[in-house]
Amino acid sequence: MKVLMIDDHVMFLQGMKNLLNVLVPELRVETTKDMTNAAQLVQLAEFDLVLLDWHLSDCNGEQSIRRLRDAGCMARIVVLSGETNATLIRRSVDLGAAGFIPKKYSSEMMVAALRHVLAGRIFLPVETLHAGAADTAGPSAATAGPDPRLSGLTARQMDVYRAAARGLPNKLIARQLDIAESTVKAHLTAVYAALGVRNRTEAAYQASREGVRID
């Protein structure tokens, strides 16, 4: 797995890199302090995961996510931030983030969150999951098995679901799967109906609560 970390706090950046190297020694981790360089890096190489500081000196989180996607970044984007209000977290998911990890977490909580993300799942802080109409306390460590709600979906609809859960916009999903954007929208409509949700944000919250793998 190839990971790109974007953070203008050098000590935090180095600490996170060291932590990732300990958790998964075979990870290939690249780092950068600004979005200008990050946009160039994602055009030159394919990354599986991007860990993004919401507040960069040259870009805010919303601009950063848009610039990464505009540059063709297909990776899951997980936001890290010292600011953790529910509105901000919800906004990051609306924009396509496949997770949100508070920087204020203890080392044990940070490790648990990172393991969740590295396992291909969506991590959202437990205290914000009610924003996705949750009744449960938080994400489970693993799913109990194949979700019966999805049993009637086609393989291509599942491909679209996984891509959407990773936060890819319809345009990039269409490019990745070599289908029309209208087909992507039709497949997502079928997925949302099967899951009983209205949009991809609700689907992301549900995936976080249920520990669904999205890679």
Under the banding of pLDDT at 50, 70 and 90, the label for residue 146 is low
| Sign of the torsion angle spanned by Cα atoms 38, 31, 75, 79 | negative
Please check whether residue 39 is in contact with residue 72, taking contact to mean a CB–CB distance below 8 angstroms: no
Torsion of CA 78, 90, 166, 106, to 10 degrees: 30
Report the C-alpha gap between 176 and 24 in whole angstroms.
27
The pTM score is: 0.84
Residue identified by tokens 């109906």 is 193
In this predicted model, what pLDDT tens digit does every residue of 151-210 receive, in sequence order?
Answer: 888 999 999 998 998 889 999 999 999 999 999 999 999 999 999 999 988 888 888 888
**Residue type at 53 in one-letter notation:** D
Residue identified by tokens 């981790």 is 29
Please check whether residue 98 is in contact with residue 78, taking contact to mean a CB–CB distance below 8 angstroms: yes
Strand 55-56 to strand 59-60: parallel, antiparallel, or no bridges (unpaired)? antiparallel
DSSP H or E segment with residue 100: strand 100-102
| Sign of the torsion angle spanned by Cα atoms 22, 25, 27, 28 | positive
In this predicted model, what pLDDT tens digit does every residue of 29-74 receive, in sequence order?
Answer: 999 999 999 999 999 999 999 999 999 988 999 999 999 999 999 9
Of 109, 104, 100, 95, which Cα lies nearest the Cα of 129?
Answer: 100
Residue identified by tokens 């693993």 is 142
Please check whether residue 84 is in contact with residue 102, taking contact to mean a CB–CB distance below 8 angstroms: yes
Report the C-alpha gap between 64 and 144 in whole angstroms.
35
